[in-house]
């Protein structure tokens, strides 16, 4: 990376937002230019989320220029767009460590900076958290501004509207900035719209509005007429009627890349109180043509060449095995060919969950519900009531948001909904908000639920078929990344329900593996001559195989990429205790801690889930038992 003081001298002078507040309008524009160049240089080197941050350069500068951060609070939704914020708030020199073990996080993190007022990672939390801060400030008689930045995609979640509804009802001193970058809400932005917003946010309009209310407050019919007239006049030139009905003063839309408009509008709005919403239009990937043309492709990137856009990841001479996500996507299309009742549902994760091909081949049977996990689950339940066969493709970490619906709407009614759970276990650089460490624990305690953990692509395809044919709720969990490279059959064959399979015969130790750590377990078994079982099912548990393993071995070791607390190993322990079986049990999995960000192999090593770690743990127990 070139020296920052040479290539980006103005940015080099910014140590905190206090320095941003000293700049004039022309300097702010130059800062935006340098910040954009620096962000491109950094992320192309480290990898990370790119498009979102490029789209919020000017907004970030304007916010820190106008508001007195960190005393004034800014909460960022999801957090993909916060790299510019990190750079301007004292973490510029640490950007080379972005999302790396021991480096700065890819999302806002309260323990990392006082400017990160609220941790993020999942969407649609910014309005509620900023509202909570606003109410707390009022309780403490603190005259601080609270600002929530939220994208139009995150506004599809019910949680965002719940917060808007509450904010309007309690007349909170809150500013919501709607960052609209997908043309999903607003018409085109132009000079007229910018001019009107500056007028509507200014002192003259506010004075006239408040003064008019005072004059008419003793004439209720006239006051109501004036209110409705104002709404209809604004409704002719702005799309904010919905927000006005929720109790917000709406301003916009304005060009979110035009600092000459954005700064004075924020300064005007800053002088007002109550619930306000500023609607800005931005371009994802702004300033880098490849990202502007393909914002989804450049949403999250590995290190790449800025000139060509090509990844620095070296091309392998042989084609890598397909990912588990790709295995699922192919299975889904194959099963849809056989059964026209199959419906695929995703909460805004078409690409990530492997549904691109399905969406093209079966568009009438594909439903992207937006960032609305709760709705996705209950939507599937409704379909299952009418003899359809819904498959909900969802990340482990996002299924947590639909937990009530999973229990109440699916499991209690014993409906045949399949949950294809991607990103189970360690995901790497996205850190604790995206690690799939808890799904076995929170799923296996639900009555009627079947929970399956394939160890390779063949088991993944077979267990997905098993789940689809099962007349009740079921879940198949699989990790991020490449599978093992097995040659797959085109057939769709279910695996024996509730049955494990033995992979290796050994002596005194039996490894009971739940999921994709089987390959590592097989390597460990070779070192200690252990038996290995791919358990496949967490629920129903193959108790017959467990009892046979107990009879033939002195030590049972359960292995899973899930929290030990309440996980698959716990289910084995519960069975042993319930049956009063006499055996020694060792559980290997995630400890009672959040998994930080880093490369998957580093994290597996940290938590003793790699070969050396497992060997050390098992040998220590063998030594204790003297077997």
Q: Residue 475 in 3-state DSSP? A: strand
Q: Which residues pair with 75 in a beta bridge?
A: 148
Q: Using CA of residue 270, residue 153, residue 230, residue 169, what is the dihedral sign? A: negative
H or E stretch including 150?
strand 146-151
d(CA 11, CA 121): 27
99, 286, 365, 373: which is the annotated catalytic residue?
373
**At a CB cut-off of 8 Å and minimum separation 6, what does 195 contact?**
none
Annotated active-site residue 99? The verdict is no
> Any idea what the Cα angle at residue 399 is, between residues 396 and 400, rounded to 5°?
100
Place of tokens 């004039």: 24
Q: Which two tokens stand for residue 535?
A: 């358990």
**At a CB cut-off of 8 Å and minimum separation 6, what does 375 contact?**
158, 347, 369
**At a CB cut-off of 8 Å and minimum separation 6, what does 616 contact?**
608
Q: Which two tokens stand for residue 443?
A: 């799923």
Residue 18, number of CB atoms within 10 A of its CB: 11
H or E stretch including 123?
none
CA dihedral 176, 180, 184, 185 (to 10 degrees): 50
109, 234, 284, 389: which is the annotated catalytic residue?
284
Annotated active-site residue 401? The verdict is yes
d(CA 395, CA 436): 8
* Beta-strand runs (E) in 163-261: 174-180, 249-255
401, 423, 480, 536: which is the annotated catalytic residue?
401
Q: Which residues pair with 254 in a beta bridge?
A: 280
Annotated active-site residue 373? The verdict is yes
Compute the chain's Rg from CA coordinates.
27
Q: Which residues are catalytic?
A: 284, 373, 401
């Amino acid at each position: 990376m070139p020296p920052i003081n040479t290539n980006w001298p103005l940015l080099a002078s910014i140590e905190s937002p206090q320095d941003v507040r000293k700049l004039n309008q022309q300097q702010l524009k130059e800062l935006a230019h340098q910040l954009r160049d620096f962000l491109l240089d950094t992320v192309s080197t480290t990898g990370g989320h790119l498009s979102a941050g490029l789209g919020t350069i000017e907004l970030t500068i304007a916010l820190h220029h106008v508001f007195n951060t960190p005393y004034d609070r800014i909460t960022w939704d999801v957090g993909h767009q916060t790299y510019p914020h990190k750079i301007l708030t004292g973490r510029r020199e640490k950007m080379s460590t972005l999302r790396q073990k021991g480096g700065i996080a890819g999302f806002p993190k309260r323990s990392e900076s006082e400017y990160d007022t609220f941790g993020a990672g999942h969407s649609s939390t910014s309005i509620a958290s900023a509202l909570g801060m606003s109410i707390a400030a009022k309780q403490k008689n603190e005259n601080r501004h609270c600002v929530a930045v939220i994208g139009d995609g995150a506004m599809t979640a019910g949680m965002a509207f719940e917060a808007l509804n509450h904010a309007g009802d309690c007349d909170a001193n809150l500013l919501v900035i709607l960052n609209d970058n997908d043309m999903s809400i607003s018409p085109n932005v132009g000079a007229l719209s910018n001019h009107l917003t500056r007028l509507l946010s200014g002192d003259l309009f506010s004075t006239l509005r408040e003064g008019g209310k005072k004059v008419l407050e003793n004439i209720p019919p006239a006051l109501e007429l004036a209110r409705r007239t104002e709404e209809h006049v604004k409704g002719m030139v702005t799309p904010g009627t919905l927000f006005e009905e929720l109790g917000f003063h709406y301003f916009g839309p304005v060009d979110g890349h035009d600092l000459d408009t954005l700064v004075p509008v924020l300064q005007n709005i800053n002088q007002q109180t109550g619930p306000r919403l500023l609607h800005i239009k931005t371009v994802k990937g702004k300033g880098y043509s490849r990202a502007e043309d393909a914002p989804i492709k450049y949403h999250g990137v590995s290190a790449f060449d800025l000139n060509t856009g090509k990844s620095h990841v070296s091309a392998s001479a042989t084609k890598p095995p397909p990912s588990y996500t790709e295995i699922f996507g192919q299975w889904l299309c194959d099963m849809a060919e056989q059964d026209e009742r199959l419906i695929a549902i995703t909460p805004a994760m078409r690409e990530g969950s492997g549904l691109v091909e399905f969406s093209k081949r079966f568009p009438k049977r594909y439903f992207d519900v937006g960032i609305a996990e709760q709705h996705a689950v209950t939507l599937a339940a409704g379909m299952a009531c009418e003899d359809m066969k819904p498959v909900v493709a969802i990340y482990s970490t996002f299924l947590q948001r639909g937990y009530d619906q999973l229990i109440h709407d699916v499991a209690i009614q014993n409906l045949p909904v399949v949950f294809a759970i991607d990103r189970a276990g360690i995901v790497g650089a996205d850190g604790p908000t995206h690690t799939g460490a808890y799904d076995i624990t929170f799923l296996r305690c639900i009555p009627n639920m079947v929970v399956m953990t394939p160890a390779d692509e063949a088991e993944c395809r077979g267990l997905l078929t098993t789940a689809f044919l099962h007349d009740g709720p079921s879940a198949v969990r699989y990790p991020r990344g490449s599978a093992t490279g097995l040659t797959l059959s085109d057939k769709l064959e279910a695996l024996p329900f509730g049955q494990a399979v033995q992979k290796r015969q050994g002596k005194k130790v039996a490894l009971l593996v739940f999921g994709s750590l089987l390959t590592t377990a097989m390597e460990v078994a070779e070192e200690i001559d252990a038996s290995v079982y791919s358990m496949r099912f967490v629920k129903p548990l193959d108790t017959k195989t467990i009892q046979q393993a107990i009879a033939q071995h002195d030590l049972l070791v359960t292995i899973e990429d899930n929290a030990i607390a309440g996980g698959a190993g716990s289910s084995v322990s519960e069975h042993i205790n319930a049956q009063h079986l006499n055996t020694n049990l060792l559980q290997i999995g995630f400890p009672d801690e959040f998994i930080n960000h880093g490369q998957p192999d580093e994290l597996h090593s940290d938590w003793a889930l790699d070969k050396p770690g497992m060997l050390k743990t098992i040998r220590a127990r063998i030594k204790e038992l003297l077997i």
